[in-house]
């Protein structure tokens, strides 16, 4: 295993849940972390916590991943401050589950914008720099819903299948470039993700569902595992599901 001292990681969607846990875990391994999301107050709190706990350098860059120029700025500022960008975690995402018949078209559009276009803008912003460096690691956070489709996950799954297709193409196109790619597919994790669902039928369906989700930290460890392997090891796909209770 390699250490992440003197490496720099950008994490999108670092203001809560899985992104926050990934940023902390990478900092614990010695990486300087650049925290991106829209809620900058939450990012500032995390930056202070990470700096005092792990002694690494941090930066907070308020970023909406659906804005191409904001993603370009995120990478530019990071390279100016740290000299390189070693890890880019495309984690920001929304899961606005709904049944197609209920026609939540604005939410479909939001999921396409954040989950697909946001990831593409991340690749657009980070990849040229990594190709120039001839080294780097891009993590794309997909989902178990990027491997299977459930009633009400149809559009969300479509966006997460797209993320997985991007990761698969990157793996093939970039295999001689020094840039590694890991597609991470979490199962259910206890975060704010479901708080934004508005379809009453989906909310009713969830009321009766009993399952013990994973913690965000459980996913963060898999990201740290992938980025701390020797440079010739390309961990392309990680699926992490909760065990069912006996």
Ligand X SMILES: NC(=O)c1ccc[n+]([C@@H]2O[C@H](COP(=O)([O-])OP(=O)(O)OC[C@H]3O[C@@H](n4cnc5c(N)ncnc54)[C@H](OP(=O)(O)O)[C@@H]3O)[C@@H](O)[C@H]2O)c1
15 forms part of the interface with ligand X (CB under 6 A): yes
Pick the binder of ligand X from 4, 13, 34, 60 (CB under 6 A).
Answer: 13
56 forms part of the interface with ligand X (CB under 6 A): no
The yes-or-no answer on residue 161 being catalytic is no
Tokens (6 digits) for 72? 């370009």
Range list of H helices, 29-67: 40-54
Task: Name the one range near ligand X by CB under 6 A: 85-93, 100-108, 121-129, 175-183.
Answer: 85-93
Tokens (6 digits) for 187? 């199962």
139 forms part of the interface with ligand X (CB under 6 A): no
Within 8 A by CB and 6+ apart from 187, the residues are: 144, 213, 214, 239, 240, 241, 242
Length reported for the chain: 246
Which residue from 244, 158, 157 is spatially nearest to 209, judged by alpha carbons? 244
181 forms part of the interface with ligand X (CB under 6 A): no
CA–CA dist 24, 3 (Å, integer): 15
Pick the binder of ligand X from 94, 120, 131, 168 (CB under 6 A).
Answer: 94
17 forms part of the interface with ligand X (CB under 6 A): yes
| Residues in contact with ligand X by the rule CB under 6 A | 12-13, 15-19, 37-39, 63-66, 91-95, 114, 141, 143, 186, 188-189, 191-193
């Amino acid at each position: 295993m390699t250490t992440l001292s003197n490496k720099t990681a950008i994490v999108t969607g670092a203001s809560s849940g899985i992104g926050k846990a990934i940023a902390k875990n990478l900092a614990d391994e010695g990486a300087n972390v650049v925290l991106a999301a829209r809620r900058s107050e939450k990012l500032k709190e995390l930056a202070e916590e990470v700096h005092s706990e792990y002694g690494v350098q941090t930066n907070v860059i308020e970023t909406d991943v659906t804005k191409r120029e904001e993603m370009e700025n995120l990478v530019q500022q990071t390279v100016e401050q740290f000299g390189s960008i070693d890890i880019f975690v495309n984690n920001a995402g929304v899961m606005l589950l709904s049944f197609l018949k209920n026609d939540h078209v604005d939410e479909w559009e939001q999921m396409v914008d954040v989950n697909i276009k946001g990831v593409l803008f991340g690749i657009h912003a980070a990849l040229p720099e990594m190709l120039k460096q001839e080294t780097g690691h891009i993590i794309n956070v997909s989902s178990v819903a990027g491997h299977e489709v459930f009633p009400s996950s149809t559009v969300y799954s479509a966006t997460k299948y797209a993320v997985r297709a991007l990761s698969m193409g990157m793996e093939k196109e970039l295999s001689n470039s020094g840039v590694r790619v890991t597609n991470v597919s979490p199962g259910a994790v206890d975060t704010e993700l479901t708080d934004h669902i508005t379809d009453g039928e989906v909310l009713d369906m969830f009321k009766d569902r009993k399952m013990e989700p994973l913690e965000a930290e459980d996913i963060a460890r898999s990201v740290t595992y992938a980025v701390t392997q020797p440079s010739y090891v390309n961990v392309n796909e990680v699926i992490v599901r909760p065990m069912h209770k006996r």
